[in-house]
Amino acid sequence: MALVRRHFRWMRDSRSPQAILEGVVAAVLAYWVAPVTLFFFWLRYLARQDMRGTLLHVLLIALAVAAATCLPTIVSRVLRPGELYRKSKAILPVVLSALRVTLLSGCLLVLLSFGVIRGMPADSSVAPDMSASDFRRWAAQGLQALGYRPYADVTEAIFSPLPAHGDWSDEGIAAIRGVRLNQMSLRYARAYHTFWVNARLWRANLEGAYLSEADLRGANLREARLHNAVLDRVQAGRAVFVSTDARSINLSSADLHGADLSYGIFEGAVLSNAKLLGASMYAIDLRDAQLLRSDLSRADVRDAKLERAVLALANLQNADFSAAKLGGANLTGAQLKGGIFLDTNFKNADLRGALLTGAIVREASFDGANFEGADLRGAIGLSVEQLCSAQRWRGALLDADIQAAAQARCASQTAIVGPQRP
């Protein structure tokens, strides 16, 4: 009765406040429950970062708003048919009003959707190089002001099944059938200490995601997007990162032994104290990366790009750096014992205090390199011409024959003159 009472003059005259409240509540429940419900579905679905599904939700909400705006007028015409012809000219303003409200609500939701899916979270800790007032944060800031963060939060979630019978051996871990989330978007998700063993994340979008201390052993992240993601202290042994876009990723103290990072883009990445023992890093891009104290022993780093990378105090023993580009790299105190550096480019590299005992450096380029305090005794393929091309070498430890030949041939070259060792 509350819905129809307002349409009859004899029933709406001298209505009490209780009757007015009853009419308002009835109208809201009858016409606006559907749009509000769909709005909350849209809000929840927004965290999936799926543009097509989100736009479908927006379309349904717009249709529901149009229906909620027009239905009262339609009901009035049905209950008062005599007035339909007298006021037919009033239908057009009603339609225009409904269309205006529908378009405004639809456009607002579309803008918010694009702002969240293409933008960034409101948290200043995410992408700190970007201003907190950057327009790409506006949509997330608006929703977060209402107490809702429009990005997934799966902290400590278990995505892959646990090993059968509690068998945590290598065989038990390998037998786990990991979750399949290929091409899933988890941009800026909070996924601290999550379990992803043997997960299938091919071409997944994990840009800016927080995966600190996650278990990614055996996971397949081929061609995934990990730009600015945080994966410090993760367990990712035997994981696949082939052709991954991981620029500026944080992998400090990560366990990546036996992982495959071939053709990956890790420019500007932080891998300090990372364990890359036996990892495959063929043709990887590590320009400007931080690998302080990292362990790359027995790793395959052939044809890699490591210009200006920091490898100070790193363990590169028995690693293969053939044809790698280490121009301007910082290798102070690094352990290169037994490594293979065939045709490697060390132009302007800092090798002070580095240990190259037994390393194969045949046809390597040391133009402008600094060998002060480096141990080059027993280096295989080291020639006098290579030493003469270096900026400083007199403070290095050399085999007697190489040192005598270098002093005789390079004495006239001022470019190599450096402080003499006492």
Q: What is the pLDDT of residue 411?
A: 67
Q: How confident is the model at residue 420 (pLDDT cuts 50, 70, 90)?
A: very low
**Averaged pLDDT of the chain:** 87
Packing angle between helix 33-45 and helix 51-79, nearest 10 degrees? 180
pLDDT in tens, 105-158: 999 999 999 999 998 888 877 777 777 788 888 899 999 888 899 999 999 999
pLDDT in tens, 317-355: 999 999 999 999 999 999 999 999 999 999 999 999 999
Q: Please tell me the pTM assigned to this model.
A: 0.83
Over range 79-92, report the average pLDDT.
53
Q: How confident is the model at residue 77 (pLDDT cuts 50, 70, 90)?
A: low
Q: What is the pLDDT of residue 93?
A: 67
Residue 306 above 70 pLDDT? yes
Over range 265-278, report the average pLDDT.
97
Q: How confident is the model at residue 92 (pLDDT cuts 50, 70, 90)?
A: low
Residue 357 above 90 pLDDT? yes
Q: What percent of the chain has pLDDT over 70?
A: 86
pLDDT in tens, 7-39: 555 455 556 666 556 666 767 777 789 999 999
